[in-house]
Amino acid sequence: MSSDTTRVRFAPSPTGYLHIGGARTALYNFLYARHTGGQMLLRIEDTDRKRYRPDAQEQLMDNLRWLEISWDEGPDVGGLFAPYIQSERADWHRECAQKLVSIGKAYHCFCKVKRLQELHRSRKSYDGRCRELAPSATLQRAESGEEHVIRFRSPKNDSTTVHDSIRGEITVRNVQLDDFVLMKSDGFPVYHLAAMADDHAMGITHVIRGEEWLPSLPKHALIMRASGWTEPIWCH
């Protein structure tokens, strides 16, 4: 694969039928890959185990085939960057989260669900209670099996600017970003981490997706930057 080969992906979550918005995203990625002589990947993002539907993956693939959208790498055809089922890449996601912890860009949080629910009820975002705990002590607590999540240490000053090839510069004030969860207490990554870790590992050059993902874009760019990865070209 030459470094200037376009690599795009359609990354549906198997939570139900392919909807028209998903079909449109798949079509754009497919057409862009074919237009540029690049590669189209199909990645199944099944880390949300609560909403997972076992029959959805086959249905999604059948629907795409019916639309005559094909892919060069995916769960059924394999490829150099297999596996293409996100839950099978959990070790990689854990490794990425741990690396962020080790360089101080993420931290273990031991706050109890009840406390977080209270914050949520009073419409407050996470208050960073575990943000300043000493890393040596938190590592020991986590390793001894105490229930925890891993949170991203969002910058608190200044702002974050991301360039979108369709919309131009998008800037958010960092105070608006909370310390969002990267790894859940069940050991599964949240979508934000898993998708970025996989986009990086799979050499994705362009992330083409619907505008409903714009609010997540600063988080995604921050994960990429904190991990030392090159950002793809964002197209929303």
- Contacts with ligand GLU by CB under 6 A lie at 11-13, 45, 191, 195, 209, 213
Closer to ligand GLU by CB, 109 or 232: give it: 232
| Gyration radius of the chain over CA positions | 18
Task: Round to whole Å and give the CA distance between 32 and 26.
Answer: 10
Closer to ligand GLU by CB, 142 or 217: give it: 217
Task: Round to whole Å and give the CA distance between 87 and 219.
Answer: 21
Quote the least distance from Cβ 191 to ligand GLU, whole Å.
6
Task: Round to whole Å and give the CA distance between 179 and 99.
Answer: 17
Closer to ligand GLU by CB, 177 or 208: give it: 208
Residue 193's closest CA among 77, 120, 58, 101?
101
Q: What burial letters (b/e) apply to 54-92, b meaning 16+ CB within 10 Å?
A: eebbeebbebbeeeebebebbbeeebebeebbbbebeeb
Closer to ligand GLU by CB, 12 or 75: give it: 12
Considering Cα of 92, then 98, then 102, then 103, what sign does the dihedral take? positive
Quote the least distance from Cβ 195 to ligand GLU, whole Å.
5
Quote the least distance from Cβ 104 to ligand GLU, whole Å.
26
Quote the least distance from Cβ 130 to ligand GLU, whole Å.
28
Quote the least distance from Cβ 11 to ligand GLU, whole Å.
4
Quote the least distance from Cβ 9 to ligand GLU, whole Å.
7
* Residues 12, 60 contacting (CB under 8 angstroms): yes
* Residues 139, 102 contacting (CB under 8 angstroms): no
Closer to ligand GLU by CB, 141 or 184: give it: 184
Closer to ligand GLU by CB, 105 or 236: give it: 236
